[in-house]
Amino acid sequence: MSRLVSFNTQALLMLERSNTKCLDDFSRPRSEMATASEICGCHRKVTLQVTLPALPSARELRQKRRGHIFEIDQAERFQVMGFTEVTPKEFPTTTGPCFTRQLVIEHPDQPIGSHLDFVVKHKDGSIHIIECKTTDGIPVEPYGNWVDQIHIQLGLLAVNFTGIEIRGSIIASDLSAGEEEEYNSFSPDMTLLDYYVERGKELIEAKAGRTTPTTMPGILCGFCSYRAGCPAHRDRVIPNEITERVTEYEILDHRKKDLEKSLDPIKKELIAFFGKRFQGVTEDGIAVATTTIAPGETVDSATLKADFPDVFKNCSRPKAGYTKLEIRKLPPAPLAKAA
């Protein structure tokens, strides 16, 4: 790792510690309560984070920082559109339009709580909560744990702000691609809140070591520090959201192969017209170039290694490995013959 990358990683670790200090400002210790993100996540991971805390990897730190950057950007957008930012303490008594960040809410009777990314108050006094998510690619539908999380938040907010119209939405942003999508029309459902409260109680029992925590395999399992030994992966459980990604990949891969079949004959026709070396622009403004690659030679590495091991060793260079992904649709099973 270069000195600058190492320096930046240490800086991100310090920023992460500063940004997460507010996560412990509940009325109870975190080990004795359950938060919205914990309830709708993998209980095994949450429990192990309490008993065997692990420092986040450099990759995780950079991904988390991406989320913080998006929240800073979202706050500036609210401000430029006329919403005043207030502190969480000021928010309940401030008239709209205004917003606050990281509002802490707790259930008055149960050890359940949450931090809200953004809470917006409009002129009519109605409240809108926004949960921010940064992604690589925008999903067609919000992930199940996103929906679970915002339902918990809406329920807790409704308990604390009675008699007020409350709505919620999830905003997903792919910062690299410059794409955003809002999933909205969420409203408090107190029956759902009761269900999540019971799930939270189960998590608290697991944190205390009195029960075995449940697993929740999902799209983020590849980044989990506690994946080793996880029963969900030992049993090769494929969750619904992964199944959807597999299906999407298979469909796109099939389209790609069909496109390649159509492209190949057109490519040959165009090369025949333009020749081995050409540069030009069509009337529609499309640049065209052909370049001829000179013939080369390849070496049979297995024969070279067997017959001239010293030469092979001196001429060899390390090559990074990679993981190959193969996804194909299986043919339908034959129908059973009637007896």
pLDDT in tens, 169-189: 999 999 989 999 999 999 999
Parse the chain into domains and list their residue ranges.
Answer: 3-212
**Rounded mean pLDDT, 209-215:** 92
User: In this model, does residue 334 exceed pLDDT 70?
Assistant: no
Provide the pLDDT for residue 243.
83
Cα distance between residue 142 and residue 181, in whole Å: 10
Strands 179-186 and 84-85: unpaired
Write phi, then psi, for 85 (nearest 5 degrees). Answer: -85, 130
Query: Which CB contacts under 8 angstroms, 24+ apart, belong to 83-90?
Result: 83/120
pLDDT in tens, 99-109: 999 999 999 99
Q: Which CATH number fits domain 3-212: 3.30.1490.20, 3.90.320.10, 2.60.40.10, 3.40.50.300?
A: 3.90.320.10
Provide the pLDDT for residue 333.
63
Element (H, E) at 10: helix 3-19
Provide the pLDDT for residue 308.
84
24-28, 246-250, 282-286: range with lowest mean pLDDT: 24-28
Q: For the chain, what is the mean pLDDT?
A: 88
Q: Which residues pair with 118 in a beta bridge?
A: 101, 130
Most confident of 5-9, 224-228, 317-321: 5-9
Tokens of residue 310, six digits: 């010293």
Cα distance between residue 121 and residue 93, in whole Å: 10
Of 110, 83, 104, the closest CA to residue 94 belongs to 83
pTM: 0.75
**Rounded mean pLDDT, 110-136:** 95
* pLDDT band (50, 70, 90) for residue 229: confident
Residues 6+ apart with CB under 8 A from 6: none
Q: What is the DSSP letter of 91?
A: G
Residues 6+ apart with CB under 8 A from 123: 95, 96, 97
Handedness of CA 207, 211, 212, 217 (dihedral sign): negative
Q: How many residues does the chain have?
A: 339
Provide the pLDDT for residue 337.
59
Element (H, E) at 64: helix 58-80
Residues 136/174, Cβ–Cβ less than 8 Å: yes
pLDDT in tens, 124-160: 999 999 999 998 889 888 988 899 999 999 999 999 9
Distances (CA, A) of 123 to 83, 84, 103: 10, 12, 19
- Angle value at C-alpha 93, between 89 and 98, nearest 5 degrees: 85
Strands 287-290 and 278-281: antiparallel
Most confident of 12-26, 118-132, 139-153, 272-286: 118-132
Residues 247/263, Cβ–Cβ less than 8 Å: no
Expressed in angstroms, the distance from the first to the final Cα of the chain is 67
* pLDDT band (50, 70, 90) for residue 329: confident
Cis peptide before 108 (omega within 30 of 0): no
Reduced to 3 states (helix: H, G, I; strand: E, B; else coil), residue 149 is helix
User: In this model, does residue 246 exceed pLDDT 60?
Assistant: yes
Q: Cα 289 to the chain's mean position, in Å?
A: 39
Cα distance between residue 56 and residue 37, in whole Å: 17
